Structure 1
Amino acid sequence: MSNVLTMIMAGGEGSRLKPLTSVRTKPAVPFGGNYRIIDFVLSNFVNSGFLKIFVLTQFKSHSLMQHLREGWRLSSGILKQYIDPVPAQMRIGKKWYEGTADAIFQNMNLIDDEDPDQVCVFGGDHIYRMDIRQMLKFHRKRRAVLTVAAIPVPVKDALKFGIIEVDDEWRMTGFEEKPQSAPKTIPGNPDFVLASMGNYIFERGPLVKELKRDARNNKSSHDFGKDILPRMFPEGKVFVYNFIQNDIPGAEEKEKGYWKDVGTLDTFWEANMDLVGVDPHFNLYNNKWPVWTYIPPLPPVKFVHFSELRTGHAINSMIGAGSIISGSLVENSVLGYSVRVHSFAHVEHSVIMNNVEIGRGAKIKKAIIDKHVRIAPGASVGFDLQADSKKFKITENGIVVIPKGAKVD
């Protein structure tokens, strides 16, 4: 897309996702068997034809940068197409990014060098499909200085999000972060409110002006949602794009508006479970809007052994390349690549990341297991939460989370 610059915010610490984020930044967390969380927003931009992309990193960025290097090498000096990681560089002082707005401000040189008409500022840690061209068309048609992507959510969920108020023309008239009192509902839809998705399209000039003004304010938290939006919308020309109206080639009607904030371990598990049904909430098998990623050169999945009590099979599950299901049963689960499930083992309603070995006769239920974990023969996870809690984290919904490299006896 000509003269549009994209900046992906991928520096978040993701503290609510620990222990998964103890060793990596949130956008680098593996998801859906083959992917990393950041693959979804990058695929949206690439599929939409936006090919000038900076990925701003900060905390524990090595895993993310390695993934971008292996799977997202787009650089072309001739065509000026690139997906470039940009670590925090302390260009304006010896300090880390102090907020999302400060992250863009500290990299203002990238905007100056590209001289774009519009700047897309999107988060790197949500699961969804979106044709960005449709939001840009909405933005340009209204001659907006800023367009915010938003999704309708039930009134009862308003406490979880930044809530936007709009008039009949979808011009922003109010914004409150996680409102404590009853927020204004969507015009004509009294049961829903508009939640900000944290995705923005700015006109270059107004963005630069606001970032400079924000940087001079010592009382600011330097955050787009808390500081930039509340200051800009009263001046007019700030509009809201309704994500529900976004159409994706090849997507079914029931997928409209699917957007998952995987900011907690429970929502991360739920989003993975959304993939595995016969008629999934979010269908990864849409070849008209692929989710791109890097996968090592591995052989296909193999299922071995076939007898009355020892048959390798999987039901309502996704299994990554190079995995071997050996005389065992996998149900309603997502397995990454190079996972070995030995005979008589049983895995159900679980998320298993790459290079995990599950021993003979082991039982796994409602678990998230990070990479390079070894489950001993006969061990069980998820059946005695009191015992599991002595070694591992248990979520509010009873999901057992096993950190990278752990050994389970």
Structure 2
Amino acid sequence: MKNILAVILAGGKGTRLEPLTRDRAKPAVPFGGLYRIIDFTLSNCINSSFRKILLLTQYKAMSLDRHINLGWRHYFNREMGEFIDVVPPQQRIDEQWYQGTADAVYQNIYVLEKERPEYVVILAGDHIYKMNYESMVQYHQETKADLTVGVLRVTPQEGTQFGIVQVDTENRIIGFQEKPANPRTIPGDDAHCLGSMGIYVFTARFLFEQLCRDATKTGSRHDFGRDIIPAIIDTHKVVAFPFRDENRKSDAYWRDVGTLDAYYEANMDLISVDPLLNLYDDTWPIRTFQANIPPPKFVFGSRGEQDRCGRAIDSVVCQGTIISGGLVERSIVGPLCRVNSYSHVADSILFEGVDIGRHSRVKRCIIDKGVKVPAGVEIGYDLELDRRRGFTISDNGIVVIAKDDGLEHMLQQGRG
């Protein structure tokens, strides 16, 4: 689809995911051991035959930029007009940081116009789902819409965190509420609302006109959901496109992993016998950077001692990891980790290069890249102790250890 330009918004701070976003953008946070959050949106683009992609970044973008260079550039042939370009704030129009989602696109309007697209697809880079965007563009063409908004069914409780749309019998949007306290339900279905997915298909010329209009509007927050959509639903054709899940499960899968607990639960989805998110479907592959490292290995600490057997049960274990006489249960272990003898990892997420020392125990933890847990340490068993140590504790009691946190010093402080 040569006349389509995909624009992925990947510039959010991700403050609710701190400390995981202390040194990286939210879309660059690891997910499922092997992937980054951004990989799902990018894989959807590739699987939808989108070959022109702009990735708009802002905060702490170095890790994300490196991931794109290592894992994604080779999918595109510049000589054939294909590209994935990481675009940092250039302040060509304004000297401020991006003020909202619409402002992020507006400040790069010259980059978009240069490509002369017929349609522009606006995407968020921080959600986990599978979707064929091409079918949404086709729906946009068939309905002759000015704007098409991707929507999914959510409960009224969930709807408080979404932009909520109201539609008529032909799926034309006739009302829009941004994160309302009392979301309007679907007529005839009081148990569900229609929530905006933050996915938009614009006819390009119309998009440019609306961005320029909004940029000069006093009091605008320059946001698609808060400003652009409400301003045009009465004067232009704005339609809703119901989410069509490519996950091939009985229930549609879409996750916003914007909080530590939501991130943890989405990862834990992957370790069940029949996970809600199917990563093993070769008809809709999820791509990422694959480093040239050896396969995982499970070894005994000492032959014949069952409690020292290197084991992983109901877990995801990535390449390069060595389970050396330790036990891993219901966990996701990233690449190049080491779980040493007599140690126990349970219900946890280990990022790349984590080292769990001998006789250590961690439970319900998220441990960031390269952290070395000293021998004989327990984390996640006494939350009050973990708070005194200075660890981040989520609302649901997940202990999060950031990289470069001076772990040994924090552990010593906690003993006092």
TM range (shorter): over 0.9
Determine which of 307, 323, 326 is the counterpart of 1:328. Answer: 326
Unmatched segments (≥5 aa) in structure 2: 412-416
Q: CA shift at 1:218, angstroms? A: 3.0
Q: Hey, what's the Cα distance between the residues in 1 that align with 2:27 and 2:395? A: 23
Q: What do the CA deviations read for 1:38-93 (whole angstroms, capped 9, x no partner)?
A: 00000000011001000000101100000000011044232111111001011113
Query: CA–CA distance in 2 between the matches of 1:123 and 1:129?
Result: 13
Matches within 5 A, 1:278-293: 278-293=273-288
Matches for 1:145-184 after TM superposition, within 5 Å: 145-181=146-182, 183-184=183-184
Partner of 1:14: 14
**Offset of 1:197 from its aligned partner?**
0.8
Q: What is the distance in 2 between the residues matched to 1:94 and 1:179?
A: 32
Which residue in 2 is equivalent to 1:260? 255
Tell me if the contact between 1:340 and 1:355 (Cα under 8 Å) persists in the aligned partners: yes
Work out whether 1:399 is the aligned partner of 2:398.
Answer: yes
Q: Which residue of 2 aligns with 1:217?
A: 217
**Inter-partner Cα distance in structure 2 for 1:377 and 1:132:** 49
Q: How does 1:37-52 map to 2 (within 5 A)?
A: 37-52=37-52
Partner of 1:109: 110
**One-letter amino acid of the counterpart of residue 71, structure 2:** G
- Give CA-to-partner distance per residue, 1:303-356, whole Å, 9 cap, x none: 000532111111111111100011111111111100100011111111110011
The total of aligned residue pairs comes to: 403
Matches within 5 A, 1:8-407: 8-73=8-73, 74-181=75-182, 183-243=183-243, 246-248=244-246, 251-254=247-250, 256-305=251-300, 307-390=305-388, 391-406=390-405, 407=407
User: 1:57, 1:11 → 2: CA distance?
Assistant: 4
Distance in 2 of aligned mates of 1:83 and 1:29: 19
Q: Deviations over 1:85-130 (max 9, x none)?
A: 0010111132211111011001111221111111000000001111
1:202 Cα deviation after fit: 0.4
Distance 1:160 1:247, change over 3 A: closer
* Greater mean alpha carbon deviation, residues 6-15 or residues 73-82: 73-82
CA-to-partner distance for each residue in 1:271-308, whole Å, 9 max, x for gaps? 10011111101111111111111021110000000532
Report the residue type matching 1:97 in the other structure: Y
Counterpart Cα distance in 2 of 1:129 and 1:247: 6
Whole-angstrom distance in 2 between the partners of 1:160 and 1:119: 25
Distance 1:140 1:345 in 2: 57
* Letter paired with 2:237: K
The amino acid of 2:10's aligned partner reads A
Contact 1:357 1:373 in 2 (8 A): yes
CA-CA distance at 1:405 after TM superposition: 2.5
For 1:164, what is the secondary structure of its paired residue?
Answer: strand
Can you give the 5+ residue segments of structure 1 that lack an aligned partner in the other structure?
Answer: none
- What secondary structure, in the 3-state scheme, does the structure 1 residue paired with 2:233 have? helix
Q: In structure 2, what is the Cα distance between the partners aligned to 1:157 and 1:100? A: 22
Find the aligned partners of 2:359 and 2:248 in 1 and give their Cα distance.
40
**Is the contact made by 2:245 and 2:253 (CA closer than 8 Å) also made in structure 1?**
no
| Percent of aligned pairs with the same amino acid | 47
Hey, what's the Cα distance between the residues in 2 that align with 1:98 and 1:363? 44
Residues 191-243 of structure 1: per-residue CA shift (max 9 Å, x gap): 10011111111001111111000100131111111111111112131011111
2: CA distance, partners of 1:188 / 1:79: 49
* More deviation, 31-40/134-143: 134-143
Which amino acid is the alignment partner of residue 373 of structure 2? I
**What SS does the aligned partner of 1:201 have?**
strand
What letter corresponds to residue 262 of structure 1 in structure 2? V
Provide the C-alpha distance between the structure 2 equivalents of 1:218 and 1:136, rounded to a whole number of angstroms.
32
- Structure 2 counterpart of 1:277, one-letter code: S
Please state whether the residue corresponding to 1:309 is helix, strand or coil: helix
Assess if the C-alpha contact under 8 Å between 2:312 and 2:329 holds in 1.
yes
Matched with 2:414 is none
Contact 2:393 2:400 in 1 (8 A): yes
How many angstroms apart in 2 are the aligned matches of 1:216 and 1:93?
12
Q: How far, CA to CA, are the matches of 1:133 and 1:290 in structure 2?
A: 16
TM-score (norm 2): 0.95
* TM-score, length of structure 1 as denominator length: 0.96
Per-residue deviation, 1:164: 1.1
Instruction: Summarize deviations over 1:361-380 as a string: whole Å, max 9, x none.
Output: 11111111110111011111
Distance in structure 1 (CA, Å) of the matches to 2:136 and 2:248: 20
Does the 8 Å contact 1:168/1:187 carry over to 2?
no
Secondary structure at 2:308 match in 1: coil
Which runs of at least 4 in structure 1 moved beyond 6 Å after TM superposition?
none
